[in-house]
Every structure is written in C-alpha cells, then in structure tokens.
Amino acid sequence: MTIEDRKEHFIKLGDFLANYELNPHKKPVIKDDYWDIYNELNEKIDAAIHYNGWFTRENVIFSLQQWSEALTRESLDQWLDRYDLSKIEPKTLGIVMAGNIPLVGFHDFISVLLAGHKVVAKLSGNDKQLMPVIARFLTRLDPEYKDRIRFTDNKLEDFDAVIATGSNNTARYFEYYFSKVPSIIRKNRNSVAILTGKETPEDLEALGEDIFRYYGLGCRNVSKLYVPESYNFDDFFKAIYKWNPIINQAKYANNYDYNKAVYLMSEFKLLENGFLILKEDSGYSSPIATLFYETYENPEALGEHLKNESEKLQCIVKKDPDDNEVKFGHTQKPQLWDYADNVDTMEFLLKI
C-alpha cells in the first residue's frame, strides 16, 4: 500500500462522510457496496447520543462534515507534501483517545495510517461508537487495513510509540506508564478570544460558534475573552442570542443553574443573559455555561502575556489573526496541518 493509495482511501472516506446530513430530504450518494456501512454508522450516531449525554446528532453530524471537508485531495497534498513518507519503517502506534467531543482522536488516527504505521487504539467509553465503523469502511476499501487497525478495551500492549490525550492528572500517569517509548502526551488546554470593541455583529456571531459548539467541551472552544477596559457587552450578547436554545439541553441547563447559584452565593459580580454567565476571572478553564473574561489596556503586553502562557492555550482567536492564530468561527474547523498543542504529529511519526 503506497502513500498515494492511502491518500485515495481517505479522499473516498471524505466523500463517504459527506453523505451524513441533518436535512432528511437530501438523498445520500452511496455505492451499493457501502450501504450497509452507511446504515450502520447512521445507527451508531444515534447510539453515541445514548452513551454520551453531551453528544447530539447535530454535533456528531457537524464533526463528520468537518472531516469530510478536510479530507480532500488538495488538503491532503498540501499537508503531506512537506514530508518524506517514502522511507518510513512501519511501527505500531498506541493511541489513547479522549471522549469529550465526537471523533476527537481522529486526527491522530489518520496521521498514523497515512504515515504507513499501524494503529492500536484505546477508545474513550464516551466516544467508542463511531471509529470502528469508519475503520470497517477503510477495510472495505483495502483489506490490508484489517492488519493495520486494532481497537482494545484493555490496557495498551505491543506498541512502539504512543499518542495519549487526557487531563493534567492522567497525563502524569501517561508520562510514567509510557516513559520507555517515544510519546506525545497531551494535557488540558483552553482557547481564548481577544476583542477590541471594533468587531462587527457578524464577527461576534461567528465567535458564538467557537464558544458554544459541542457545549464548549473541546480544547478548541473559547473559554475566556480578553476585552478592553470599559468594554460594553451588549453587542456581544445580542450577537450570540441565536444560541439561546442551548439552555434547553438538560445537562447544560443544570450546569448553568448550579454555577450561577454558586457564584451568587459567593457574591461574585456576574453578567448573564439566561444561557451564558460571564465572570471576570484570571483563569482559563471556565465551567460549562460560563465564560471567563479579563480586561486589558495594552494589546502588545497582552500578546506577550499569552505568548508566555502558550503551553496552556490551544487557540487564540481574533478578528485579524496573526500566524498560529484563528479567525472567529473557525476553532472547530481546523486544517489538517493545525496540530493539537502545536506538536507536529507527522514529524513525530517520521522519527520513531
């Protein structure tokens, strides 16, 4: 199986995933050989919602659509052409996946396979329905994937290197347990947005996508705002009002009510609009249904501060992003070369 073969397989996977739509009237375009997999994945989408109360069909479909848009020939070439994958000696990569948002470990999965290595993946119990069906689709394209992809519910064994994602606490365990093999260990990270007060309603509406998609559970979700002194939040609240139905999700509403009660009893000064709490706080990791904010005076000083805090941050979002920053509305639409934690996964895979 050559790198060109593998590219073709993932282009076909992207085409296949494009058939999953929220619009019930749009007819999928499926070859006869793949209808059974299409129907199985459709069933697993519904099953995933039952296994994880934070998953909704809308969010799972959103994830599938983003991967469909990413897995194009142009994007794959732009991503992979910078690497020499011709001399890789195949190894087995263990991947420990998180389960906070749908298919959160998929980039590691495709990176390992495209590099020519084998995968043994330990899926999170919160997100274990979808990936095996996608693996079956790849195996239908080429039976060789049957020997290249393995899932396990037990501890990882028989691997040459590992990519593991978890909390700061589990990362310490990962660092000890995987200390004898090459590894990428990912910890907690958060994303922030910088506002200047000159944003248009459209800019702020797009920011709502960065805040609320997946209920804010992803490391790429904005969990904190930096705003100028005396910033007026009225325009911000107006722009994000389209997201108000989110309060109808019981788990989100419970978090909103609980956090609001705790903050009020502690006599914190709050701003809120019925579905989002704004709390002034120097931290990054805001609770569900809460967004931290902090004021700044000097944009240059703020930029230097965030540069020094880079190990805690996944994305910095603003209207006119510089290199390694993200524009409003795009945190959950990363390119294939936008690596988590700014660690070049493919470069790692080349060197093991």
Transcribe 177-233 into DSSP letters. HTTTS-EEEE---EEEEE--S---HHHHHHHHHHHHGGGG-STTSEEEEEEETT---
N-to-C CA span, the chain:
20
Average of pLDDT values for 27-38?
88
Strand order in the sheet with 161-165: 149-151, 118-122, 92-96, 161-165, 183-186
* Partner residues linked to 323 by β-bridges: none
**Is the pLDDT score of 25 beyond 80?**
no
Provide the pLDDT confidence category of residue 168 given band limits of 50, 70 and 90: confident
Provide the pLDDT confidence category of residue 171 given band limits of 50, 70 and 90: confident
Question: Which residue do the tokens 């076909």 mark?
Answer: 12
Provide the pLDDT confidence category of residue 75 given band limits of 50, 70 and 90: very high
Q: What is the pLDDT of residue 297?
A: 95
Q: What is the pLDDT of residue 351?
A: 92
Whether the CB-CB separation of 281 and 294 falls below 8 Å is answered with yes
Average of pLDDT values for 43-68?
94
- pTM: predicted TM-score of the whole model, two decimal places: 0.93
Provide the pLDDT confidence category of residue 31 given band limits of 50, 70 and 90: confident
* Partner residues linked to 313 by β-bridges: 190
Average of pLDDT values for 268-292?
96
Phi, psi of 119 (to 5 degrees): -120, 130
Greatest Cα-to-Cα distance within the chain, rounded to the nearest angstrom? 63
> What is the Cα–Cα distance from 328 to 321, expressed in whole angstroms?
9
- Look up residue 14 and give its amino acid: G
**Is the pLDDT score of 24 beyond 80?**
no
Average of pLDDT values for 262-275?
93
User: What percentage of the chain exceeds 90 in pLDDT?
Assistant: 87
Give 113-122 pLDDT, tens digit per residue.
Answer: 999 999 999 9
**Is the pLDDT score of 323 beyond 80?**
yes
- What beta strand segments (E) does 60-189 contain? 92-96, 118-122, 149-151, 161-165, 183-186
Average of pLDDT values for 255-276?
94
Contacts of 208 (CB under 8 A, 6+ apart): 239, 240, 242, 243
> What is the Cα–Cα distance from 105 to 264, expressed in whole angstroms?
37
Provide the pLDDT confidence category of residue 16 given band limits of 50, 70 and 90: very high
Q: What is the pLDDT of residue 69?
A: 96
Provide the pLDDT confidence category of residue 169 given band limits of 50, 70 and 90: confident
3-state DSSP call for residue 272? strand
Provide the pLDDT confidence category of residue 325 given band limits of 50, 70 and 90: very high
Average of pLDDT values for 273-291?
96
**Is the pLDDT score of 167 beyond 90?**
no
Average of pLDDT values for 246-251?
96
User: What percentage of the chain exceeds 70 in pLDDT?
Assistant: 100
Average of pLDDT values for 230-252?
96
Average of pLDDT values for 193-203?
96
Q: What is the pLDDT of residue 165?
A: 93
Q: What is the pLDDT of residue 56?
A: 95
